[in-house]
Structure 1
Amino acid sequence: MTAQGVNSAGSLSGRVAVVTGASSGIGEATAERLAEMGARVAVLARRSQRLDSLVGRVEEAGGQAMAIALDVTDAAAVQDAADRVASHFGDVDVLVNNAGVMLPAPIEERAVDQWQQQVDLNITGLMNVIGAFTPQLVKAAQERGVADLINMSSIAAQNIFPNFAVYSGTKAFVTHLSRHLRVELGPKNVRVAALEPGIVGTELQSHVTDEGTLQWLADSKEGGMEWLTPQDIADVVGFLAALPPRVNLQQVTIMPTAQPS
Structure 2
Amino acid sequence: MSDQPLDGAVALVTGASSGIGEATARRLVRAGASVALVARRGDHLDRIAGDLTTLGGHAIAVAADLTEPGLAYQAVEDTHDRLGRLDILVNSASIMVLDTALHSTIEDWDRMISLNVSALLHITHAAVPYLIDAAATSTRRVADLVNVGSLAGRVVRPAGSVYNLTKFGLHGFSESLRQELLSEDVRVSVIAPGVVDEAVCDLAHQPRERMEALRPHDIADTVAYIVTRERRVAISEISVRAGGQTW
Coordinate RMSD, CA, aligned: 1.2
- In structure 1, give the amino acid aligned to 2:178: R
What residue number does 1:103 align with? 97
Alignment of 1:49-198 (within 5 A): 49-109=43-103, 111-144=105-138, 145-198=141-194
Contact 2:3 2:31 in 1 (8 A): no
- In structure 2, give the amino acid aligned to 1:43: L
Contact 2:4 2:32 in 1 (8 A): no
Separation in structure 2 between the aligned mates of residue 230 and residue 16 of structure 1, nearest angstrom? 21
What residue number does 1:229 align with? 215
Count of paired positions: 245
Query: Is 1:242 aligned to residue 228 of structure 2?
Result: yes
Separation in structure 1 between the aligned mates of residue 156 and residue 114 of structure 2, nearest angstrom? 22
What residue number does 1:251 align with? 237
Query: Paired residue for 1:37, among 22, 25, 31?
Result: 31
What residue number does 1:4 align with? none
Separation in structure 2 between the aligned mates of residue 201 and residue 256 of structure 1, nearest angstrom? 10
Query: Is 1:204 aligned to residue 200 of structure 2?
Result: yes
Change (3 A) 1:127 1:40: same
Q: Percent identity?
A: 36
In the TM superposition, structure 1's runs of 4+ consecutive aligned residues that sit over 3 Å from their partners are 7-10
- In structure 1, give the amino acid aligned to 2:73: Q
What secondary structure is seen at the aligned counterpart in 2 of 1:184? helix
Q: Normalising by the residue count of structure 1, what TM-score does the alignment of the two structures yield? A: 0.91
Separation in structure 2 between the aligned mates of residue 154 and residue 9 of structure 1, nearest angstrom? 29
- In structure 2, give the amino acid aligned to 1:202: E
Deviations 1:75-127 (A, max 9, x none): 11111111111111122111000111101111123521111111111000000
Deviations 1:118-153 (A, max 9, x none): 111100000001011111001101112100000010
Q: Normalising by the residue count of structure 2, what TM-score does the alignment of the two structures yield? A: 0.96
Moved more, 109-118 or 128-137: 109-118
Select the structure that is richer in helix.
Answer: 1
